[in-house]
Amino acid sequence: MGSPERTKVRAFHLNRDGIDLKQGLQLTIVIFCAVIVLDYFFGAVGIIAGLAALFVMLADFKGPLRSRLKLLGSFTLIGTAVAVIAGITGPYMWLVALSVLIFAFAGTLLQAYGSHIGKMMYLLILWFLMAYSFGYTPYDTRSTAFGFLIGSLASICYIVLVSHFSSKKQGTAPLNQEGNATAGGIRVQLNWNSPIFRFAVVRSVLLSIAIIMGWKLFPTEAYWVAITILVIIIEDPHQIIVSGVERATGTLLGAVIAISILGLFSDPIISLLVFLLAIFLMFSFRRVNYAIFVFFMTIMLMSTIAIGGSDVTTVGIERLLAVTSGVALAFLGIGIIKLISQKKKHSGVHSSG
């Protein structure tokens, strides 16, 4: 989920060395256990707990266990609070749009503190948008917040156990220094004229517009316009078009395949199997190509509808339209970011000349 390398690569380039079936299987088993066990004890929160466990796995990074636990603990607390905020503001369109605007802007700015925090905030913004779709009655809010809390804690416990056994064999892993940022670098990046500040403005404004657009045009799938924009747009102006094409392709194909498969089977067991298979393939191929990762992630997210017992065919068609609208808005945002970047580059050349 992190930012791509700042090097020129062609679209849909495949890194065949990035396949990791072992990791995909291990993490899928953990998430499956979280869904089944927590669903047995706590009912409907099982699928939310599974999503939370998934997000914690994606937010994790290589480094000393203490550093990882600090960030993952913060991730858990913020994610739980976000679910409560979503429940409070959920009934009011303008409050939702304002909340998303503020949280997305602040979360994007925090990318200046390094790739680890940047990835964590990206996932929290995604979770914020998803939390709205789980309902906003007092019961829904409590269930969503509790599901995220226990799912995250279950995933953190797994990380602690794995780190405990692996540290005995390999020793403590050094912190990946690419995840850190110097104080001077942070001040430069948080300047109002910096690329990350401009990106934060464009992304947060687009997401809030997408919320209003979703409420007006797609009332049952109001948040998928914004989710699609978040998935497609990245902060790197050098790769934003290539990555945008990859992410848009993966999102649209994933939506079509998910609607086709899940529409044929109304059995929640089949939907759960699709959910788990998508997670397995998503983790196994996430370093191969981002289009493949997004493809399986979209199927995974859409399978949550069928697990909840919704009409996938009816809801799926509206969701596909919402996704398509999100793709169009995302490329509008990409064009704006690219235009601003080129203007700043030209103005810098003229001023230096």
DSSP string, 232-270: H--S-TTTHHHHHHHHHHHHHHHHHHHHHHHHH---HHH
Domain boundary among 188, 205, 234: 188
Task: Give the domain extent around 138.
Answer: 18-188
Domain boundary among 173, 188, 203: 188
Q: What is the pLDDT of residue 334?
A: 84
Work out the pLDDT band at 184, boundaries 50, 70, 90.
Answer: very low
- pLDDT tens figures, 62-71: 888 898 999 9
For 133-194, where are the alpha helices, taking DSSP H only? Answer: 138-170, 183-189
Q: What is the pLDDT of residue 237?
A: 59
Give yes or no: residues 211 and 353 share one domain.
Answer: yes
pTM exceeds cut of 0.75 = yes
Work out the pLDDT band at 264, boundaries 50, 70, 90.
Answer: confident
- pLDDT tens figures, 267-306: 778 888 888 899 999 988 888 888 888 899 888 888 876 6
- pLDDT tens figures, 81-94: 999 999 999 999 99
Q: What is the pLDDT of residue 296?
A: 92
Q: Identify which has the larger pLDDT, 40 or 80.
A: 80
Q: Residue 129 in contact with residue 226, Cβ under 8 Å?
A: yes
Is 42 part of any domain?
A: yes
Give every CB contact of residue 190 below 8 A, 6+ residues apart in sequence: 109, 112, 196, 197
Q: What is the pLDDT of residue 222?
A: 86
Q: How is residue 82 annotated by DSSP? A: H
Based on its alpha-carbon atoms, the radius of gyration of the chain, rounded to whole angstroms, reads: 20
Q: Identify which has the larger pLDDT, 174 or 227.
A: 227
Interior CA angle at 251 toward 246 and 254, to 5°?
120
User: What's the chain's average pLDDT?
Assistant: 81
Q: What is the pLDDT of residue 190?
A: 66
Q: What is the pLDDT of residue 103?
A: 96
Give yes or no: residues 76 and 166 share one domain.
Answer: yes
Q: What is the pLDDT of residue 210?
A: 95
Is 286 part of any domain?
A: yes
Cα distance between residue 75 and residue 156, in whole Å: 11
* Choice among 53-57, 112-116, 332-336 with the minimum mean pLDDT: 112-116
- pLDDT tens figures, 90-116: 999 999 999 999 999 999 998 878 888
Give yes or no: residues 204 and 346 share one domain.
Answer: yes
Q: What is the pLDDT of residue 85?
A: 95
Is 8 part of any domain?
A: no
Give yes or no: residues 175 and 219 share one domain.
Answer: no
Cα distance between residue 57 and residue 55, in whole Å: 5
Is 205 part of any domain?
A: yes
Phi-psi region of 310 (alpha: psi -120 to 50; beta: other; left: phi over 0): beta
Domain boundary among 131, 162, 188: 188
As a whole-number percent, the residues of the chain with pLDDT over 90 amount to 26
Structural domain total, the chain:
2
Is 10 part of any domain?
A: no
Q: What is the pLDDT of residue 98?
A: 97
Q: Over 50: is that where the pLDDT of 5 sits?
A: no
